[in-house]
């Protein structure tokens, strides 16, 4: 058919180009991957190339043409199967495959049935590169096919492949900083690394977790258990059970720090509604409450809330350990007859929530697909908080009571942009646009919370519900210290920086008359024990690191994920021991016992997660189980 002779590596080149172009076409036609700018499109286009160059290029090490062709055939078939499997999976689950999904046995029923229904005859297109390769092998005449490539040629080739990989990673890093360390969204990983690299990355993350899990033993839990039991305190007798049987609504206030509360910016009130709540007779407000999140940001705060364990120091636990056994707050409430749900108007794969919520035994995840976004209702990351709350409450009216529904807000998220009509106060006037806009989005969030309370009242849900609200993590990072110093009117030292990690924690129990400002120093790790105690649910045999914030026996001590801590006497930050209150530097020896305890506690929590140790523990009675 082709008379002329083709250059030596034509078959390899054809295989690479065919799979590369096919993959890009499939990205554009079979997945809905949003592209916001030309750079993202370029990254998406380039993304399959590095792996293909490398993987197909290994054929250069084979001697005979026959072996080379066979290898290329198997390689193209393999990449096609991987891609096609994702297409089929996506048709049903609008998500990309991650290894745990294949091993979570309860997914199999779903998978089998849905796969069969999602396969069509036209799907041969997904193998078009394999077909092209077979035809090329059959009809193309190669000059001197058996000549081996020289060592130098191979070196140059693989250096070039590596260059393509680094170009890809470099572009991805500019577009999505911290993509690999935080690994926050599968969709972004696929979009920036390409499907094939994404699977290798997933394989790496999952197998690393798997290895640690395999080597863990039930006896590893003994020491952790002893530590927890010896530090355990009794919940507050006064508050315990006061909200028993009520619905529980928990609101995550995106990027909400405590400093705007009961504060002004250029004479303007920033949070009028939240300020009112701090004086409300049914609301307890904790001004000395800290976030304890790490790289996993919002998801870490959810993890702290549900498990009362610390999130991980490297990477988001929602991604790395979604297959673990947990004893979540949702599961506890579920076992008491509560229906449990999370409502959040974002794609379900963000922070791997769709997988993790199964492990946390959350019955229902109302994600972006459960919300309608009318024209003008979206800004920044998506649906605005006011229409989000309106629809969330409408969803609650359909829920079986008592329910536990957790709402995750979104508008007050970096880069803090708003539509003109939603700006209720002026921007600040510092050199940081981020901080300047932050006040306006915080003001919007405050308005949204007010609307939530009104919606609940209008729909008859208010009286019989407890409303808990917490700030998930900081919104203003240390990059904006100069602007923050201008706002606060003082230098942002490590001491101040630690104090800025305070986020609001509100507990609103209608009709309770228990309101007031509670100065107790605590953190997100204390939410689970505090809330479950209010709900009248016993946690005395649970493995958790937090305590009931209302308990009289509590020692004031909050450990940040990065090892900083705050007690009633000291603040430890950047290796400096400060006196809490005066902000004076004191002898580090005074902080020493707490430094030790903070590290121990973080380490114990880490070992529970890495070893999946809660599988060796009986949730019913707190007894340690023999290994499997």
State in angstroms the smallest separation of the CB of 413 from ligand GP9: 6
Among 298, 320, 440, 524, contact with ligand GP9 (rule: CB under 6 A): 298
Element containing residue 505 per DSSP (H, E): strand 505-508
Of 68, 66, 79, 80, nearest to 12 by C-alpha is 68
Out of Mn ion, ligand GP9, none, what residue 350 binds, judged by CB under 5 to 8 A for its kind, is ligand GP9
Residue 340 touches ligand GP9, criterion: CB under 6 A: no
Q: Which of 89-111 are b and which e, b meaning 16 or more Cβ less than 10 Å from the residue's Cβ?
A: bbbebbbbbbbbbeebeeeeeeb
Residues 486, 430: contact at Cβ < 8 Å?
yes
Q: Which of residues 533-552 bind ligand GP9 (CB under 6 A)?
A: none
d(CA 369, CA 313): 32
Out of Mn ion, ligand GP9, none, what residue 601 binds, judged by CB under 5 to 8 A for its kind, is none
Question: Within 10 A of 614 (CB to CB), how many other CB atoms are there?
Answer: 19
State in angstroms the smallest separation of the CB of 292 from Mn ion: 14
Residue 350 touches ligand GP9, criterion: CB under 6 A: yes
Residue 476 touches ligand GP9, criterion: CB under 6 A: no
- Closer to ligand GP9 by CB, 350 or 388: give it: 350
d(CA 593, CA 290): 21
Among 346, 359, 391, 533, contact with ligand GP9 (rule: CB under 6 A): 346
Residue 343 touches ligand GP9, criterion: CB under 6 A: no
d(CA 30, CA 552): 58
Of 215, 311, 286, nearest to 561 by C-alpha is 311
d(CA 246, CA 403): 8
Output the furthest CA–CA distance in the chain (Å, rounded): 92
Out of Mn ion, ligand GP9, none, what residue 449 binds, judged by CB under 5 to 8 A for its kind, is none
Question: Within 10 A of 64 (CB to CB), how many other CB atoms are there?
Answer: 11
- Closer to Mn ion by CB, 439 or 550: give it: 439
- Closer to ligand GP9 by CB, 161 or 349: give it: 349
State in angstroms the smallest separation of the CB of 183 from ligand GP9: 12
Out of ligand GP9, Mn ion, none, what residue 346 binds, judged by CB under 5 to 8 A for its kind, is ligand GP9
- Closer to ligand GP9 by CB, 22 or 297: give it: 297
State in angstroms the smallest separation of the CB of 176 from Mn ion: 16
Out of Mn ion, ligand GP9, none, what residue 80 binds, judged by CB under 5 to 8 A for its kind, is none
State in angstroms the smallest separation of the CB of 571 from ligand GP9: 25
- Closer to ligand GP9 by CB, 27 or 474: give it: 474
For 6, counting Cβ atoms within 10 Å of its Cβ (0-12 exposed, 13-18 middle, 19+ buried), the class is middle
- Closer to ligand GP9 by CB, 72 or 295: give it: 295
State in angstroms the smallest separation of the CB of 605 from ligand GP9: 20
Helix (H, G, I), strand (E, B) or coil at 557: strand
State in angstroms the smallest separation of the CB of 299 from ligand GP9: 6
298 flagged as catalytic: yes
Residue 349 touches ligand GP9, criterion: CB under 6 A: no
Of 548, 546, 550, 544, nearest to 558 by C-alpha is 546
State in angstroms the smallest separation of the CB of 322 from ligand GP9: 15
Total of chain residues touching ligand GP9, rule CB under 6 A = 6
Strands 522-523 and 289-290: parallel
- Closer to ligand GP9 by CB, 165 or 442: give it: 442
- Closer to ligand GP9 by CB, 149 or 380: give it: 380
Helix (H, G, I), strand (E, B) or coil at 519: coil
The residue with tokens 């305890």 is 597
State in angstroms the smallest separation of the CB of 346 from ligand GP9: 4
Instruction: Tell me which residue has its CB nearest to Mn ion.
Output: 298
| Residue ranges in contact with Mn ion by CB under 5 A | 254, 297-298, 472
Q: Which two tokens stand for residue 11?
A: 């078959």
Strands 465-471 and 505-508: antiparallel
Site string for ligand GP9, 381-420 (x = CB under 6 A): ---------------------------x----x-------
36: left (phi over 0), alpha (psi -120 to 50) or beta: alpha
What's the helix, strand, coil split of the chain in %, to 5?
50, 10, 40
Q: Which two tokens stand for residue 1?
A: 């058919």
Question: Which residues, 6 or more positions from 547, have their beta carbon under 8 angstroms from its beta carbon?
Answer: 232, 233, 235, 526, 529, 530, 554
Residues 508, 283: contact at Cβ < 8 Å?
yes
- Closer to ligand GP9 by CB, 413 or 528: give it: 413
Note if the bond before 402 is cis, omega within 30 degrees.
yes
- Closer to Mn ion by CB, 193 or 295: give it: 295
Residue 362 touches ligand GP9, criterion: CB under 6 A: no
State in angstroms the smallest separation of the CB of 298 from ligand GP9: 3
Instruction: Tell me which residue has its CB nearest to ligand GP9.
Output: 297
Residue 580 touches ligand GP9, criterion: CB under 6 A: no
Out of ligand GP9, Mn ion, none, what residue 526 binds, judged by CB under 5 to 8 A for its kind, is none
Out of Mn ion, ligand GP9, none, what residue 179 binds, judged by CB under 5 to 8 A for its kind, is none
d(CA 471, CA 293): 11
- Closer to ligand GP9 by CB, 474 or 594: give it: 474
Residue 503 touches ligand GP9, criterion: CB under 6 A: no
- Distances in Å between the Cα of 390 and the Cα atoms of 274, 377, 399, 623 are 19, 12, 15, 44
d(CA 567, CA 570): 5
State in angstroms the smallest separation of the CB of 254 from Mn ion: 5
Out of ligand GP9, Mn ion, none, what residue 408 binds, judged by CB under 5 to 8 A for its kind, is ligand GP9
**Active-site annotation holder among 271, 278, 298, 340:** 298
Out of ligand GP9, Mn ion, none, what residue 591 binds, judged by CB under 5 to 8 A for its kind, is none
Residue 352 touches ligand GP9, criterion: CB under 6 A: no
Helix (H, G, I), strand (E, B) or coil at 307: helix
d(CA 134, CA 140): 10
Residue 319 touches ligand GP9, criterion: CB under 6 A: no
Residue 297 touches ligand GP9, criterion: CB under 6 A: yes
Residue 348 touches ligand GP9, criterion: CB under 6 A: no
- Kindly list the catalytic residues: 298
Binding positions for ligand GP9, rule: CB under 6 A:
297-298, 346, 350, 408, 413
């Amino acid at each position: 058919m082709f008379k002329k002779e083709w250059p030596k590596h034509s078959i390899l080149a054809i295989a690479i180009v065919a799979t590369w172009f096919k993959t890009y076409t499939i990205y554009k036609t079979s997945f809905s991957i949003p592209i916001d700018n030309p750079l993202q499109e370029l990254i998406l286009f380039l993304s399959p190339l590095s792996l293909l160059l490398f993987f197909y290029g290994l054929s250069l090490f084979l001697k005979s043409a026959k072996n080379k062709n066979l290898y290329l055939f198997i390689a193209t078939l393999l990449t096609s199967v991987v891609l096609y499997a994702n297409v089929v999976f996506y048709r049903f689950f609008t998500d990309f495959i991650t290894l745990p999904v294949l091993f979570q046995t309860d997914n199999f029923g779903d998978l089998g049935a849905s796969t069969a229904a999602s396969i069509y005859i036209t799907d041969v297109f997904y193998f078009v590169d394999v077909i092209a390769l077979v035809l090329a092998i059959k009809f193309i005449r190669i000059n001197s096919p058996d000549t081996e490539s020289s060592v130098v040629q191979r070196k140059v080739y693989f250096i070039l492949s590596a260059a393509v990989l680094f170009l890809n990673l470099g572009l991805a890093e500019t577009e999505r900083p911290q993509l690999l360390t935080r690994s926050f969204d599968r969709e972004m990983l696929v979009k920036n690394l390409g499907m094939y690299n994404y699977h290798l990355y997933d394989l790496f993350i999952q197998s690393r977790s798997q290895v640690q899990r395999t080597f863990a033993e039930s006896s590893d839990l003994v020491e952790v258990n002893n530590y927890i039991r010896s530090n355990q305190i009794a919940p507050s007798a006064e508050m315990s059970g006061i909200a028993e049987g009520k619905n529980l609504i928990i609101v995550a206030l995106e990027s909400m720090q405590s400093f705007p509360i009961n504060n002004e910016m250029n004479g303007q009130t920033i949070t009028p509604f939240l300020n009112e709540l701090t004086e409300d007779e049914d609301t307890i407000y904790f001004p000395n409450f800290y976030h304890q999140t790490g790289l996993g940001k919002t998801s870490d705060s959810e993890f702290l809330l549900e498990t009362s364990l610390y999130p991980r120091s490297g990477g988001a636990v929602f991604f790395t350990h979604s297959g673990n056994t947990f004893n979540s707050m949702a599961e506890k409430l579920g076992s008491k007859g509560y229906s449990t749900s999370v409502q959040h108007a974002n794609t379900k794969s963000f922070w791997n929530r769709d997988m993790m919520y199964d492990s946390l035994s959350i019955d229902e995840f109302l994600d972006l697909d459960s919300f309608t976004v009318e024209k003008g209702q979206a800004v920044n990351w998506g649906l605005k908080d006011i229409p989000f709350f309106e629809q969330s409450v409408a969803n609650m009216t359909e829920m079986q009571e008592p329910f536990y529904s957790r709402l995750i807000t979104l508008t007050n998220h970096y880069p803090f942009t708003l539509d003109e009509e939603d700006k209720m106060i002026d921007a600040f006037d510092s050199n940081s646009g981020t901080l300047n806009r932050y006040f306006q989005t915080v003001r919007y969030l405050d308005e949204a919370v007010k609307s939530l309370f009104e919606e609940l009242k209008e729909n008859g849900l208010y009286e019989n519900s407890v409303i808990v609200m917490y700030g998930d993590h900081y919104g203003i990072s240390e990059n904006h210290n100069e602007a923050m110093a201008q706002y606060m009117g003082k230098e942002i030292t490590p001491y101040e920086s630690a104090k800025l990690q305070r986020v609001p924690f509100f507990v609103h129990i209608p009709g309770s008359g228990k309101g007031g400002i509670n100065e107790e120093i605590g953190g997100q790790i204390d939410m689970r024990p505090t809330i479950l105690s209010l709900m009248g649910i016993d946690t005395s045999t649970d493995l958790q690191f937090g305590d009931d914030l209302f308990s009289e026996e509590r020692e004031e001590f909050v450990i940040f994920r990065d090892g900083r801590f705050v007690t009633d006497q000291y603040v430890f930050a950047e290796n400096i021991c400060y006196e809490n209150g005066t902000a004076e530097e004191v002898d580090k020896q005074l902080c020493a016992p707490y430094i030790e305890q903070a590290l121990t506690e973080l380490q114990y929590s880490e070992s529970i997660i890495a070893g999946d140790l809660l599988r060796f523990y009986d949730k019913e009675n707190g007894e340690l189980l023999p290994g499997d």
